[in-house]
Structure 1
Amino acid sequence: MKKGFIGRWFMTALLLGVCLSASAQGYRIEATLKGLKDTSCILGHYSYSNKQFFSKDTARVDASGRMVFEGNTPLPGGLYLVLLPGQRRWVELVYSGKETHFSFEADTAEIVKSMVIKGSKENEVFYTYQNELRRIMEGGGADAQKQFMDYQKGFLKEQAGTFTSKLLKASLEPEIPTAPKLPNGKSDSTWVFNYYKAHYWDGFDFTDDRLLRTPFIQPKLERYFKDLVVQVPDSIIKDVDALIKKAAPNKDMKSYLIYYITSEYENAKVVGTEGVFVHMAEKYYLTGEMEVSADARRRIGERVASMKPLLVDKIIPNLTLSDPEKKPVSIHGIKADYTVLFFYSPTCGHCKEAAPKLKEFYEKNKATGVKVLAIATDQSPEDWKQYVSTYKLGDLLHGYDYNFRTDYRTQFDVFSTPTIYVLDKNKKIIARRMPIEQLDDFYNFYRKSHAASSTAAPKKTASAGSKSSK
């Protein structure tokens, strides 16, 4: 995940131990692993991203395969790993934060099957569950799936008070009842979708921050917001605030959800959803509900101030520049059904790669009423003119600020180049930060959809007092 300022801040706070709390006691985990000797192993836990691992301790393995992880610093609860040499194999451990002193023995050739736990009911339950599932699946048979489901349901009921059962629930999919039938006899797929979404988080305890240190939360969040939430700001914001409300009793979980959503939409993957970032910043960061330093809050405020006037559906601020003949050219002065603004740096490698694609887009679509204003944000007039000449962009409109008075970062949110905006005939923003590779597809989809909706609009009928023509 590409991290903006919010992401960088949170990860720094995380590594410094600012955000997450733990129980106030030390730990001692003794291990004996057959097949290892005279080497080292690493103890750590899953991070919020299932692609990351946070190391907490290292232990030396003696000639008999014995090692001890021990410390006075408390370990936060979660799903832990003991990484074996080479870091391609590991032992999973359930660390509840309550059972802080325990031991285990296993053969590295068959870790799950050979596991023996002492002093930890959680891990006894965890490995009993894994071994029973292995036995059912190895047994095969037509009813293996039913045996699996029956055992799982019984296990969850019997072990309801354990952290292990909470881990399992957090990973499960909603069980969907039989859907009602439509008049045509088919199952109601809309009902199925709505039920699935409504029950997606049923098994996830947002009040337990130990689930942050498992491989479950980030993939579940990614799937939820990618596949189940309509990608428009109002829908996203509604679901975001509802999840954060669920997590409100737990400061760490709440902080993570706020961080995750804010960082995702600071660099939005879906065009037009940057308004979610503005909402998160204004509601949680700038109010002080999300604790950050005064400097961080100031920087977030500056980012919001830059982005807010430039969100989709806003009229873009006007800007008057000079064309290559030093004649004035302004955004609002362009007469076109659609206007594409292409902010670029003449010496930027990505901008050079984008130039042929921009030219191709314009040549293909100029007959549809679109114009392109290419705005050089820096470098010299000579570099600017050389760029236009080299890539044969003379048919486009061009703008340059000879007086260097325009702050493109704060006035047009140009933090990297190229940055592309698409405007309608009223200079309302219909897309921002559009990748050049997606410009043609987006433009034609939007233009055709808009034309179709206009054509489909009902015609006005004569009013009751008007005269009808004969």
Structure 2
Amino acid sequence: MRKYYFLFIAFIFISAVQAQNGYQIKGTIKGVKPEPLTLAHYFGYGQYIVKDTAVADANGNLTFSGDKPLLEGLYMLLLPSKRRFADFVIGKEQNFTFSTDTANVIGNMKIEGSPDSERFYKYQKQLVGYNSEIGFLQAQQKLRQDMMTQAKINNIRRQIMEYYQEFAKENSNSLTGKILSASAEIQLPAAPKRPDGRPDSAWLFHYYKAHYWDNFDFSDERLVRTPALQRKLDRYIQELTFQDPDSLIKSSDFVIGKALKGGSKELQAYCIWYLTNQAENPTTIGGDAVFVHLAEKYYLGGIMPITDSSTVQNIRSKVKTIKPLLVGKIMPALALTDTAGKLRPLADLKAKYTVVFFYDPDCGHCKESTPALKAFYEKNKTTVQVYAASVARAPEQWKKYIRDFGVGEWVHGYDYTFRIDFRKDFDVTTTPMVYVLDQDKKIIARRLPVEQLEGFMDFYEKRLAYEKSLK
């Protein structure tokens, strides 16, 4: 968890009405060492929240218990090494027993008193059986390749899919069934034909994306405590959405809209938090616009159901900093003093492109990036100028840096007034920080690694030429 840890903690305290008698889960694990094991529920697929710890005795017996009921969801049993040992679907029935052994956890798992976990392991055992058959046939294939063996493998795979669909349908009202349904692939209809007679693959893609969430129950908050939601979000945003700000905003709003319509406060909060958190560190040019949109609409707009005043204030401050610096905006005014004592406004530079390089002369990354920026400048100096802005309060180090790296041709600037807050005014939270401006000083890229300047400029020039050809 990188950002908004305080918000993450808030999720722990949100729950629906549960049973009132607490929980007691007794287990026996043959072959386990006398050591503490942890019970935790999923929070996305890469995170979990610890709820209890129990120590196994010499016979592998252990008990988890508490006065308050557990939040319903998919739980994992963790060994001291943090390795996941087993999963349990914990619903309203929270007084149950289980037994298994370390040799074959799934195959030997027996559960009494938890219908959802019983369903879960019934499904798991059936899958293990199918996969064992496939493994045997694949071993045969290594010795002898034949069409019959491959046909058998394909037939078993069809049986797995049929069993999956049938099991999910029969158990659709249970949490186990909802977890399986949430992960189910959409059944695609026959695609219409293109004029050349071939199936229209673009139509199929749009159909798939439009129906991607059909099997996900946005009214069931328990799905937050499973890996299903985060996996679907990641695929929808990263694989099914074109990676430009407008498309990412549209997809994010679509998902959040479904969560809001579903009515689960916790599910709404997770979708808003996760998508905003992912957008805060964009991997695409101009991606900061996605964060600003989501932050303004859902956090500052009062829609986010789980928040506090400090969260809102932090987000408001960040939006205030980033919004004037988004791709497409004119770079805010910046005027620094050069080594000759002359004031050098950024706006006065006459170049087709300007690279604004915020750096600290003593920063290791800045020193590593400078030779690459110098090489880029030397190759493109007829169209590119570099405006190098030192953010450090050490004028002698600044001048030494210029001499040591031999970058006197750049326009260099230092804030002798100490009035500029580079963090607030230009979002310089780390150094180096790079902006690329066009001839009108409009921002065309920000937070771009120096090593990617050449590739970006080549792409940008080609895009401009393409757009010009369409006019």
Of 312, 327, 330, the residue aligned with 2:345 is 330
Counterpart for residue 139 of structure 1: 133
Report if the CA contact (8 A) 1:22-1:76 is conserved. Answer: no
Counterpart for residue 453 of structure 1: 467
Write the distance in 2 (CA, Å) between the matches of 1:293 and 1:156.
39
Write out aligned runs for 1:184-195 (5 A): 184-195=196-207
The residue type paired with residue 424 of structure 1 is D
Q: Deviations over 1:39-73 (max 9, x none)?
A: 3221112222x222322111122232221111112
Structure 2 unaligned spans of 5+:
135-151
1:457 offset after TM fit, Å? 4.2
Q: Which moved more, 1:393-402 or 1:133-142?
A: 133-142
1:372 offset after TM fit, Å? 1.1
The residue type paired with residue 104 of structure 1 is F
Write the distance in 2 (CA, Å) between the matches of 1:148 and 1:35.
31
Write the distance in 2 (CA, Å) between the matches of 1:22 and 1:326.
69
Residue 74 (structure 2) pairs with residue 79 (structure 1): yes
Write the distance in 1 (CA, Å) between the matches of 2:13 and 2:98.
32
CA 198–306 in structure 1, closer or farther in 2 if over 3 Å, else same: same
- 1:114 match: secondary structure: coil
1:21 offset after TM fit, Å? 5.3
Write the distance in 2 (CA, Å) between the matches of 1:18 and 1:43.
17
Write out aligned runs for 1:399-418 (5 A): 399-418=413-432
Report if the CA contact (8 A) 2:38-2:50 is conserved. Answer: yes
Write out aligned runs for 1:102-141 (5 A): 102-140=96-134, 141=152
Residue 100 (structure 2) pairs with residue 90 (structure 1): no
Write out aligned runs for 1:48-63 (5 A): 48=44, 50-63=45-58
Residue 16 (structure 2) pairs with residue 13 (structure 1): no
Counterpart for residue 142 of structure 2: none
Counterpart for residue 45 of structure 1: 41
Write out aligned runs for 1:312-351 (5 A): 312-351=327-366
Write the distance in 2 (CA, Å) between the matches of 1:422 and 1:19.
44
Of 302, 309, 317, the residue aligned with 1:288 is 302
Counterpart for residue 462 of structure 1: none
The residue type paired with residue 370 of structure 1 is V
Of 218, 221, 244, the residue aligned with 1:209 is 221
1:272 offset after TM fit, Å? 0.3
- 1:279 match: secondary structure: helix
Write the distance in 1 (CA, Å) between the matches of 2:10 and 2:363.
33
Residue 439 (structure 2) pairs with residue 425 (structure 1): yes
TM-score after normalising by structure 1: 0.91
Of 168, 174, 182, the residue aligned with 1:170 is 182
Q: RMSD in angstroms over aligned alpha carbons? A: 1.8
Write the distance in 2 (CA, Å) between the matches of 1:20 and 1:419.
42
Q: Deviations over 1:258-312 (max 9, x none)?
A: 1111111222221201111111221122233224322332222121111111111
CA 38–319 in structure 1, closer or farther in 2 if over 3 Å, else same: closer
Report if the CA contact (8 A) 1:21-1:252 is conserved. Answer: no
1:37 offset after TM fit, Å? 4.9
Report if the CA contact (8 A) 1:172-1:203 is conserved. Answer: yes
Structure 1 unaligned spans of 5+:
459-470
Report if the CA contact (8 A) 1:207-1:246 is conserved. Answer: no
1:452 offset after TM fit, Å? 3.7
Q: Deviations over 1:162-214 (max 9, x none)?
A: 11011111222323233233222333221122122112222222221211111
Report if the CA contact (8 A) 1:346-1:379 is conserved. Answer: no
The residue type paired with residue 449 of structure 1 is R
Report if the CA contact (8 A) 2:172-2:181 is conserved. Answer: no
Of 2, 20, 23, the residue aligned with 1:27 is 23
Residue 235 (structure 2) pairs with residue 220 (structure 1): no
CA 103–263 in structure 1, closer or farther in 2 if over 3 Å, else same: same
Q: Which moved more, 1:23-32 or 1:109-118?
A: 23-32
Write the distance in 2 (CA, Å) between the matches of 1:20 and 1:188.
45
CA 107–390 in structure 1, closer or farther in 2 if over 3 Å, else same: same
Q: Which moved more, 1:380-389 or 1:233-242?
A: 233-242
CA 18–448 in structure 1, closer or farther in 2 if over 3 Å, else same: same
Write out aligned runs for 1:348-427 (5 A): 348-367=363-382, 369-427=383-441
Of 9, 13, 32, the residue aligned with 1:36 is 32
